[in-house]
Amino acid sequence: MGRKVLVTGATGYIGGSVAVKLEQAGYHVTGLTRTVAGAEKLKELGISPYLGTLDDYESLIRAANEADIIINAADSDHIFAVSTILSALEGTGKIFIHTSGSSVVGDKAAGKISSLVFHEETIEPRLEKLARVTIDRTVVSSANRGVHSVVICPTLIYGEGHGIHKDSIQVPWLIDLALEHGAALHIGKGENVWSNVHIDDLVELYLLALEKAQAGSFFFAENGEASMKSVCESINRAFALGLKTKTMSLDEAIRRWGPEAAHFAFGSNSRVSSTKARRMLDWKPKGISLLDEIENGYYKNKYKRE
Ligand SMILES: NC(=O)c1ccc[n+]([C@@H]2O[C@H](COP(=O)([O-])OP(=O)(O)OC[C@H]3O[C@@H](n4cnc5c(N)ncnc54)[C@H](OP(=O)(O)O)[C@@H]3O)[C@@H](O)[C@H]2O)c1
């Protein structure tokens, strides 16, 4: 039998996509889920369900002990879960891949562009992102305590997921908003830029990291970038909503999505480079571009079907 992998977030967009690909690649995958319905659906995908939550201590330790490899893709910000998993893994040399997110380099630009492009060693988090960055740094440094730790830090992920939950966050939310208002909306001028990555390329990066990454490594995952305005123009074209995008104030966005998402998922810049993953893991992302996926690919077809 292949090596045993525990995936948290296995019913989700990232975790589900990774879990399905690992199963296909011959790993024996166990997926954490909080619900019986989730467990039933995981079984249908050939993934062994493990009922529990990230808050459980003994149960999560037991699941980590039973696995050879642990991938945390349920919640980038759950300090207790990461701490529990690290307690179970210390001194074992087991691989632990933790999923972060590139809002760690986010600013509060409210739609204005920034020229700053970050790489793995230049992250200087704002106060709001300190907790996430502290988790990431703790995972990286657990390599000194006998954990083969890796952090993967995806940017804006797009494309159809392979598991139960097929959709990411930012693009579907923008499309829903556009269809509601008759035109796509960005915060302020929408000149703020996000790096992005196709879900298929991201999954490939997890598989490569599992096989090749050194203990204590951190990788950004991007394969291009786009301004929010250009994403909105693309949504307008895809759904024949005219040429003009609309603008929303930061406070309108906060009322709709809350401050975290308004500032750090829609109004900010999050520009990073994945040179390290390409160089060290020989990662060769090849997914279609974000704008192409919106106008000619998954998003256009999905909303036609619904
Ligand atoms: N999507 C992106 O573009 C992106 C980019 C960078 C970073 N991230 C981060 O990556 C993480 C996963 O994102 P995603 O898009 O894959 O989310 P998702 O589709 O919502 O999946 C998350 C899964 O985690 C499980 N989960 C959540 N809280 C849990 C808890 N307390 N205990 C046990 N399981 C729990 C849920 O499974 P059950 O309901 O079955 O328990 C859910 O299906 C998030 O923290 C997100 O912020 C996402």
- CB of 105 shorter than 6 A to ligand 1: no
H or E segment and range at residue 196? strand 193-198
Distance 74 CA to ligand 1 centre (A): 4
pLDDT tens digits along 7-18 = 999 999 999 999
Query: What average pLDDT does the segment 66-77 reach?
Result: 98
Q: How does DSSP classify residue 287?
A: P
- CB of 270 shorter than 6 A to ligand 1: no
- CB of 103 shorter than 6 A to ligand 1: no
* Band of pLDDT at residue 304, cut at 50, 70 and 90: confident
* Band of pLDDT at residue 305, cut at 50, 70 and 90: low
Atom number of ligand 1 nearest to Cα 169: 1
pLDDT of 23 reads 97
Query: Does the pLDDT value for residue 238 go beyond 90?
Result: yes
Looking at every residue in the chain, the average pLDDT score rounds to 97
Distance 99 CA to ligand 1 centre (A): 10
Distance 101 CA to ligand 1 centre (A): 11
Atom number of ligand 1 nearest to Cα 99: 10
Query: Does the pLDDT value for residue 226 go beyond 80?
Result: yes
How many angstroms separate the CA atoms of 29 and 50, rounded? Answer: 10
In this structure, the residue with its CA closest to atom 21 of ligand 1 is 12
Cβ neighbours of residue 95 under 8 Å, at least 6 residues apart? Answer: 68, 69, 70, 148, 149, 150, 210
**Taking Cα atoms as reference points, which of 164, 180, 201 lies closest to residue 285?**
201
| Domain ranges, ordered by start, for the chain | 4-107+117-158+196-221, 170-195+225-272+286-298
Largest CA distance in the chain: 59
Hey, which CATH number is domain 4-107+117-158+196-221, 3.40.50.720, 3.55.50.30, 3.90.45.10, 3.40.50.970?
Answer: 3.40.50.720
Query: Does the pLDDT value for residue 303 go beyond 90?
Result: no
Distance 152 CA to ligand 1 centre (A): 14
